[in-house]
Chain A
Amino acid sequence: MKYELVSGLETHVELATATKIFCSCTTAFGGAPNTHCCPVCTGQPGALPVLNKRVVEFAIRAGLALHCKINTVTHLDRKNYCYPDLPKAYQISQFDKPLCEHGYVELESGKKIGITRIHIEEDAGKLVHDRGFTFVDYNRGGVPLIEIVSEPDISSPEEAREYVEKLQLIMRYLAVSDCKMQEGSMRCDVNISLRPEGADYLGARTEIKNMNSMSFIEKAMEYEYSRQAEILSSGGKVEQATMRYDEHTGETYVMRTKEDAQDYRYFPEPDLPTIIIPEEEVQKAQASLPELPLEKLKRYRDMLQLSDHTARQLYKYKAVCDFFESCINSGASARNSANLITGAIYSRFATEEQKEKFSLPFDAAQFAELVKLLDSGKINPTLAQMTLSKMLTNGGKVSDYISTEDVKGVDEGELEKLCREAIAANPQAVADFKAGKEKAISALYGYIKRATQGKADIRAADAIIKRLL
């Protein structure tokens, strides 16, 4: 029997606020143990949570970008469970009144993955087990999270990956999170069940916890699919369980089964009043939403006439888009800007992270100057590349590398003179060209380039040479 995969994801995204969700300690990643702490985030007796406004703002932005309805009257709840990384023995989260509900993420196929809810909550601290000791560090405790819960609309590992990538990109566009999976600022729990193809019921599901890489998500889903399919096809029953994925073996294993399910005893957090969000705030947030990734990709292709490949290479990185757009806004052409960015500039960035950061020793205005010289034919692509390369290495302005002299180029009379010289100096190449070897003419180009240090317009030279021959 063929089985179809039914999957939903719970994605935790750390919000890029300056302070924690309930206290004014920094959210900076790392730091010596317990140095980003206070009575509130270490659960000292008598300490009380004070909700960070920006957490609510960011969550609303995230909700609106995912087409959610915003609950303008909302509250927080306590989720009670005891674990050493949770200093109060409860996590302040949201239960029956999440901030955002009923949204979706659109995949490129046009399929929509439903978003059940988005709620705000606090992160736990970190445990380190070593030498027979458990060491507890609460620096991460109280860092704000949103949990984005999807409907079980995902039907393949590839879709899961695209969904997570889209979420990541949207969150980055909104600047609400850096979504670095390797640092744990984005993590996923994956729910998986199987059912016979075409069936309309849901099978027993397992949940794989805490996935922190796209490829692990795919691999774990593939593994879990075959594991469950094997059980089902041999007539067995899938047991509802919480699992962990072992990235070394590539297998999933059971952490706990339904029998030892938790009872979280949710109840409204009495230390925090009900939050009343004025409708205007939501409208304001809606109006301030940036262009979202898919819209941008479409615009780059359709309006700016970039190739699909180039457009994708740009839209994946928020900082690149900002740079690119600021450049074309100052009058540079989209095509030349995009080509230089994805060519010369990207060649300097080895990692995705560097492209995400996109830190350059010059600003977009300087870059635009260079592109405009290229656009107008005042310099040729070779000189543009050379100049850009120097700017990337040493920083500075376009005028540091290209003089007014250079920009003038070579005038028509001078160029014709050079062409005649080139013909005279390369009799063999001329003969070959005349004999039909089109390529032979490049030797003449080379001569002209050398003679003008790349300043001559080769297209113009080409026309002259062909006329002379």
Chain B
Amino acid sequence: MSISVDEIKWLAKLSKLDFDDERAAAFSGDFDEIVEFADRINSQIAGDTTKIREVGGSEIAFADLRKDEVKESLPVEKVTSNVVSEGGYFTVRRVVK
């Protein structure tokens, strides 16, 4: 199975990655390889896939959920400590040339 350049661009759009025509074309070989690899499951299974099973499969009892008790939030200086912030906000300049 081969993935078209258009399909790669669609996936890139969903993934918020930039794949222009050139890069998508160059990537398609690599991607085919890993998709083919994933495709190996199709030789392993036939039948019902209608019900998604729980991933991880662990369970938690209702009684063990978190209590609704407020704990102090972090100081805004910490929350924004990894960026240059303004007035406590995370900021992005909308256009930078």
Contacts and interface: CB of A to CB of B under 8 A. Distances in A.
Mutual binders A and B: yes
18 contacts: A19-B71, A24-B66, A25-B73, A26-B73, A32-B76, A33-B87, A34-B88, A50-B66, A51-B65, A82-B16, A133-B93, A136-B92, A268-B54, A270-B55, A275-B60, A276-B61, A276-B62, A278-B63
Contact of B54 (A25, A52, A274): A274
Given A17-B68, A19-B69, A37-B73, A274 B93 contact: no
A258 interface: no
Interface string B68-97: 111101111001100001111111111100
Contact of A273 (B14, B59, B66): B59
Interface in A26-69: 26, 32-39, 42, 50-56
Interface in A115-154: 128-129, 132-138
Contacts of A137: 88-90
Contacts of B89: 33-34, 128, 135-137
B2 interface: no
Contacts of B76: 32-35, 37
B58 A274 contact: yes
A51 B61 CA distance: 11
A270 B91 CA distance: 31
Interface of A: 17-19, 24-26, 32-39, 42, 50-56, 75, 82, 84, 89, 96, 128-129, 132-138, 263, 265, 267-268, 270, 272-278, 281
Contacts of B95: 132
B83 to A, nearest CB: 10
A135 B90 contact: yes
Given A26-B73, A135-B90, A265 B14 contact: yes
B34 interface: no
A53 B92 contact: no
B1 interface: no
A276 B57 CA distance: 12
Contacts of A273: 56, 58-60
Contacts of B73: 25-26, 35-38
Most chain-B Cβ atoms within 10 A of its Cβ — which of A34, A56, A268?
A34
Given A51-B66, A52-B68, A134 B92 contact: yes
A225 B35 CA distance: 47
Q: Which applies to chain B's interface (DSSP): helix, strand, loop or mixed?
A: loop
A275 B79 CA distance: 31
B91 A19 contact: no
A56 B94 CA distance: 39
A25 B71 contact: yes
B94 A129 contact: yes
A37 B73 CA distance: 5
Contacts of B90: 34, 135-138
Nearest to B62: A277
A24 B69 contact: yes
Given A25-B70, A273-B59, A132 B93 contact: yes
A75 B59 CA distance: 9
B33 to A, nearest CB: 22
A33 B91 CA distance: 12
B39 to A, nearest CB: 19
A283 B71 CA distance: 31
B19 to A, nearest CB: 16
Interface string B30-57: 0000000000000000000000101111
B74 A37 contact: yes
Given A37-B79, A268-B54, A276-B61, A136 B69 contact: no
Contacts of A82: 16
A96 B58 contact: no
B68 A133 contact: no
A133 B90 CA distance: 10
B94 A134 contact: yes
B59 A276 contact: yes
A193 B92 CA distance: 39
Contacts of B80: 34
Contacts of B61: 276, 278
Contacts of A89: 16
B91 A133 contact: yes
A220 B76 CA distance: 39
Nearest to A75: B54
Contacts of A96: 52
Given A33-B89, A133-B93, A19 B14 contact: no
A147 B75 CA distance: 31
Given A51-B60, A132-B93, A135-B90, 8 more contacts: A32-B76, A32-B88, A33-B88, A42-B79, A51-B65, A133-B93, A135-B91, A137-B89
A240 B85 CA distance: 40
A109 B54 CA distance: 43
A55 B89 CA distance: 28
A275 B65 contact: yes
Contact of B94 (A26, A39, A51, A133): A133
A274 B87 contact: no
Interface string B14-35: 1010000000000000000000
A274 B59 CA distance: 5
B68 A18 contact: yes
